[in-house]
Amino acid sequence: MFSLLNRPGRLCDTPSRRELLTVGGLSLVGLGLPDLLHRQALGQDKASPLNNGFGAADSVVLVYLQGSPSHIDLWDPKPDAPAEIRGEFQPIATTTPGLYLGEVLPKLAQQSRHYTVVRSIGVDPKGLRNHGAAIYMLMTGHSPTNFSPTGLAVPPSREDLPSVGANVAKYRAAERGRFSNVAVSGPVMEGRVVGVGQSAGLHGAAFDPYTMYDDATKPLKPVGLTLPSDVALDRLESRLDLRAVIDTHCDGIRKSKTTFDQFYDQALSLIQTRRAVDAFRLEAEPPKTRERYGMTRFGQALLLARRLIEAETRFVQVTWPARSDDEPAPGPDGSWDTHRNNFPMLRDHRCPVFDHSLSAFIEDMAARRLLERTLVVAIGEFGRSPKIGSPTTNNVGPGGRDHWPECYSFLVAGGGVRPGKLYGQSDHHGAWPKVDAVEPYDLIATIYHALGINPATEYHDALDRPRRLVEAGRPVVGLF
């Protein structure tokens, strides 16, 4: 039976994101999503004129390489450094004069006219150089003050500060019938803790990401984006009078200057337009396109990201499918955390998948002119140590590189960023930024800036203290 009031106690509290998007329980088109859209609109910034890249992007794709690849071996080769630093790989030229990458990225080297490499990001971490604290900093723009003394992750809670995607969903919500915040490929994980820095935290479940962590090489079945088999859309539209429910249970919404009818209409439009549903139908893509992206979890997740951007999703996070601290293993989905066997793992397993799929994504986004208004960032939570195989407290073995947050690199493209450039410079060992130093907070401020969101925007935490979207730092306007 299709019942509106089967669980009246959940109508106006904070259900989970999955519950909000379950049409069978009626929270998507009944109340959950209209309330979500209502709360998003209340905090949405008005558009501002472009100013050094401000508002140049309509959407963001964050390609998060959890576990962290070696910046020296991928993005910032050091051929003149001693052997124990430069490693086994040789630099190769790109299509950008003066820009060299590691030999393990030949396809990305051919696409360099579309992106910029930043070689001078780094931070002096608080506490130990562990994944959890670095992830939280990258994902929220704040210091991990709620972490254990060792820097290990703790389970997420509603008292956490909101993720970048959640802030984007709150302060620049997508248009009706579109998603604001989607996470695909796999969850962010450290040890047994799942979802580090991923939730909306203080903002509430309404701004959590819609997640699709299923293996995209197989048909995807998005939860909550289809009607139950015994309910037709016209039946739903004709029989539900949600305004009566709002009058009874949620008086606060009636006080808004914006009528609930608009939010009901927006919620229903996700199903009516089917754009959100169709984005997950990767089988609609030509086999040649799917093969170009690569039939791996990561490759097909990037293809899904492209389709979500085409469906005007505001923020998409594609997370590398292995845990941040997994032992590196052969295969397409293994970890970047190369404490041991760094070079065979990168050469034979990690980089062939990464190079093949990300180059296809960038090339395809550019060809479809989606890159013009989409900011793409590919980054890990930190880099890897310049010296190879040096014994440390992080259990580095033969041929391995340790955690290294002090200096690393990332790729940035689209969204108004000038392509075919090199920004910043590390020292001769890749150990410290030398020119145009950038902190993770600056990168996050740049993402907000590109979307037309003021990074200094404030909200209040659980103790009613004012918090900025970014704890410190400023947009890197030199990229635009």
- Domain of 414, CATH number, reads 3.40.720.10
Q: Confirm whether 299 is domain-assigned.
A: yes
- Our count of domains for the chain comes to 1
Beta-bridged to residue 59, according to DSSP, are 374
Q: Confirm whether 133 is domain-assigned.
A: yes
Q: pLDDT tens digits, residue range 243-255? A: 444 444 454 444 4
Spatial distance between the Cα atoms of 201 and 84, rounded to a whole number of angstroms: 43
Spatial distance between the Cα atoms of 453 and 468, rounded to a whole number of angstroms: 12
- Joined tokens for residue 455: 């990074």
Domain extent at residue 332: 8-479
Say if pTM beats, i.e. exceeds, 0.75.
Answer: yes
252, amino acid identity: G
Spatial distance between the Cα atoms of 100 and 89, rounded to a whole number of angstroms: 12
Longest dimension (CA), the chain: 74
> What percent of the chain has pLDDT above 70?
76
Spatial distance between the Cα atoms of 201 and 59, rounded to a whole number of angstroms: 22
Q: pLDDT tens digits, residue range 161-218? A: 999 999 999 999 999 889 999 999 999 998 888 999 999 999 998 899 999 999 999 9
Q: Confirm whether 3 is domain-assigned.
A: no
Choice between 46 and 157, residue whose per-residue pLDDT is larger = 157
Q: Confirm whether 110 is domain-assigned.
A: yes
Beta-bridged to residue 177, according to DSSP, are none
Q: Confirm whether 1 is domain-assigned.
A: no
Q: Confirm whether 2 is domain-assigned.
A: no
Q: pLDDT tens digits, residue range 425-480? A: 999 999 999 999 999 999 999 999 999 999 999 999 888 999 999 999 999 999 99
Spatial distance between the Cα atoms of 141 and 469, rounded to a whole number of angstroms: 7
* pLDDT at site 336: 97
Beta-bridged to residue 118, according to DSSP, are 410, 423
Q: Confirm whether 240 is domain-assigned.
A: yes
